[in-house]
Structure 1
Amino acid sequence: MDTQDILKKVKCGEMSVEQAEQLLRKQPFDDMGYAKIDTHRKIRSGFAEVIYCSGKDKEHLLQIFGRIYKEEGEVLGTRASQSQYEFIQKVYPQVEYDNLSKIIKIEKENKIRTGKITVCSAGTADIPVAEEAAQTAEFFGSYVERIYDVGVSGIHRLLARLEVIQSANCVVAVAGMEGALASVLGGLVDKPVIAVPTSIGYGASFHGVSALLTMINSCANGIAVVNIDNGYGAGYMATQINRLAIKEEHHG
């Protein structure tokens, strides 16, 4: 339960001041021994803690997943395996898993998604990373428009969707190989572009290093670059930008 929920319950008489004080006095993390759950992260940053699942022991992951779900009413995990999903599903049958993006989640029903983010992928092979970005942003309340397979080898495909891309508050450009998509988009929009290099490509792409260097060295302005294959980081940052844009619209 977050601070606003507690205060609303006190205001409505559903919770006593003493009960609220007891909840607010809780330490800002839950020490489980093998993990320290940051229960106050949403209060500080506006985003609840997300689980990076890869490499975690299944039992540890299950307990962490359950603890965050109990605290927030929803939970998001990235880089989850099929076997991790099946293990969690035994306890939480409502859990959802996307084998493409490797995202595992329990999400609140009837969630309102606002603003607009466009997630563009250069190729179909980049979609898993693009989906990690898109689904992360959606989980955190952003409306996402997906525009896939619009790489520079057929730039007319990108230009055909330019009006939609330009209307977004933020653009995520996901590309492997030489990573040129981000530079092209940076020269076509007046909003921030978050570039995501992927490890897609032949030998000299060096598992994404080539795309990473292209994006970092882009001559287009307004481009920020996240780590190779880091769709989650892009979706998170895009949501921060989208939230700022929504605030500006409301105060404008």
Structure 2
Amino acid sequence: MGKDLREILLKFKNGEISLEDAERLVKLNYFEEIEEEIKLDVNRRLRTGIPEVVYGKGKGEKQIVEATLKLAERNGVALATKIENIKRVERKLKEYNLNNYIVKINRVGKTLSIRKKDYKIKKFGCVGIITAGTSDIPIAEEAIETLNLMGINYIKAYDVGIAGVHRLFPYLKRMLSSKVSCIIAIAGMEGALPSLVSSLVDVPVIGVPTSTGYGIKITPLLTMLHSCSPGLAIVNIDNGFGAAVFAGLIVKNLLREVHD
């Protein structure tokens, strides 16, 4: 295991290791390999503010558990998304000594999070999360677990799509009153919800098309991409993780501007 980057820099600063040794240790610290199959970018959080997340689709339960656990060992907390068989992952977890960890499985969002018991996540900021229908909730739950990983607070409102648009307004009012930095709007079917939301609020809106709906699944993506409502950015279909990361970076940079 490579040493923590901060520890390496402190040792160099204090004269405990040479420049050549520091350079060698930093290079070794770029990634860790698991059985020649998975190469983990363990220092991504130091570069980007966001730790690497395990993409579970197509991976076996052993790969998912070991990769997530290794990232938790290095970063204090880790997340796996798009897990295809949650029950198998739950069974596999029982084979590991996890006494020093807090494990959370979100069956709806198809995620696994592992956190060291002594690792504290400081909460800050706030993001709104809205779904058009209940079938879009799994993507919202994926986004929520990603925000939890980043330490971002959230307010959620489910099943408030344009088929019954009157349901939306009280929740938008609550979100704006709570000073959310942005809103994630998740919708399948025709995908019109993000355009509507962005026409009513003065914060950035992140549209997430989902594969929910009849017929061709690309329709909500095309609807959102062709929106005439300003202040709206779009991620790909079912990418709750990507939307949450984008939202988290908005929050972090706004707070940085305030405190600088």
**Same fold, judged at TM 0.5 (above):** yes
After superposition, the Cα gap between the structure-2 partners of 1:128 and 1:50, relative to the gap in structure 1 and judged at 3 Å, is: same
2:4 and 2:255 map into 1 onto residues whose CA distance is 22
| 2:28 aligned residue | 26
State yes or no: 1:62 paired with 2:65: yes
1:178 and 1:239 map into 2 onto residues whose CA distance is 27
Give 5+ residue unaligned stretches, structure 1.
Answer: none
| 1:50 aligned residue | 53
State yes or no: 1:142 paired with 2:152: yes
After superposition, the Cα gap between the structure-2 partners of 1:56 and 1:248, relative to the gap in structure 1 and judged at 3 Å, is: same
Q: How far 1:52 sits from its partner (Å)? A: 0.5
1:5 and 1:158 map into 2 onto residues whose CA distance is 49
SS in 1 for 2:50: coil
2:97 and 2:223 map into 1 onto residues whose CA distance is 43
Equivalent AA in structure 2 for residue 57 of structure 1? G
Equivalent residues in 2 for 1:114-193, closer than 5 Å = 114-166=124-176, 167-193=179-205
After superposition, the Cα gap between the structure-2 partners of 1:160 and 1:62, relative to the gap in structure 1 and judged at 3 Å, is: closer
Alpha-carbon contact 1:89-1:95 (below 8 Å) kept: no
Aligned-residue sequence identity (percent) comes to: 36
Alpha-carbon contact 2:190-2:223 (below 8 Å) kept: yes
Q: How far 1:62 sits from its partner (Å)? A: 3.1
State yes or no: 1:100 paired with 2:99: no
State yes or no: 1:85 paired with 2:85: no
Count matched residues: 245
Per-residue CA shift, 1:155-191, capped at 9, x if unaligned?
A: 2211112223332101100001111110011111121
Instruction: State which drifts further: 83-92 or 216-225.
Output: 83-92
Alpha-carbon contact 1:174-1:195 (below 8 Å) kept: yes
State yes or no: 1:221 paired with 2:230: yes
After superposition, the Cα gap between the structure-2 partners of 1:79 and 1:184, relative to the gap in structure 1 and judged at 3 Å, is: same
Per-residue CA shift, 1:75-111, capped at 9, x if unaligned?
A: 1100122212321243154421110000101135542
Instruction: State which drifts further: 67-76 or 212-221.
Output: 67-76
Q: How far 1:60 sits from its partner (Å)? A: 2.7
> Normalising by structure 2, what TM-score?
0.85
2:232 and 2:155 map into 1 onto residues whose CA distance is 19
State yes or no: 1:239 paired with 2:248: yes
After superposition, the Cα gap between the structure-2 partners of 1:142 and 1:17, relative to the gap in structure 1 and judged at 3 Å, is: farther
Equivalent AA in structure 2 for residue 99 of structure 1? R
After superposition, the Cα gap between the structure-2 partners of 1:2 and 1:175, relative to the gap in structure 1 and judged at 3 Å, is: farther
After superposition, the Cα gap between the structure-2 partners of 1:18 and 1:147, relative to the gap in structure 1 and judged at 3 Å, is: same
Q: How far 1:112 sits from its partner (Å)? A: 1.9
Alpha-carbon contact 1:187-1:221 (below 8 Å) kept: yes
Alpha-carbon contact 2:194-2:207 (below 8 Å) kept: yes
SS in 1 for 2:236: coil
> Normalising by structure 1, what TM-score?
0.88
SS in 2 for 1:28: coil
RMSD: 2.4
